[in-house]
Amino acid sequence: ETGVTQTPRHLVMGMTNKKSLKCEQHLGHNAMYWYKQSAKKPLELMFVYSLEERVENNSVPSRFSPECPNSSHLFLHLHTLQPEDSALYLCASSQGTALYEQYFGPGTRLTVT
């Protein structure tokens, strides 16, 4: 499946680094999501964008900063992360935000050292 792509697939960063995760969807969808998946909490919704406007910020620390320049692209900017932020970060998209299935990308495996 290549409907939703994510780069990089793996990332190792130190706590003082700044990095960005990129997501691109080729499905013509209007909504995009960031999820964090870890062993402790399987799927945590972080941010939701609908028509490029952020409609949900699920109490995520400010060291995570999303950006949605257009309906096809979504970024997650990372800075001064903590080791407990190590997880799989999944991007998803859907046609809309109500009663629509979500299509997930392959994820970025992030390790914070």
Partner 1 sequence: GQQVMQIPQYQHVQEGEDFTTYCNSSTTLSNIQWYKQRPGGHPVFLIQLVKSGEVKKQKRLTFQFGEAKKNSSLHITATQTTDVGTYFCAGPGTKAGKSTFGDGTTLTVKP
By the 8 A CB rule, do 110 and 6 touch? Answer: no
Q: Omega into 69 within 30° of 0, i.e. cis?
A: no
**37 versus 80: smaller Cβ distance to partner 1:** 37
Closest approach of Cβ 15 to partner 1, in Å? 27
Binding mask 26-55 for partner 1 (x = CB under 8 A): -----x-x-------xxx-x--x-x----x
In angstroms, the CA 37 to CA 31 distance is 19
Pairing, β 108-112 against β 10-13: parallel
Which residues contact partner 1 by CB under 8 A? Answer: 1, 31, 33, 41-43, 45, 48, 50, 55-56, 58, 90, 92, 97-99, 101-107
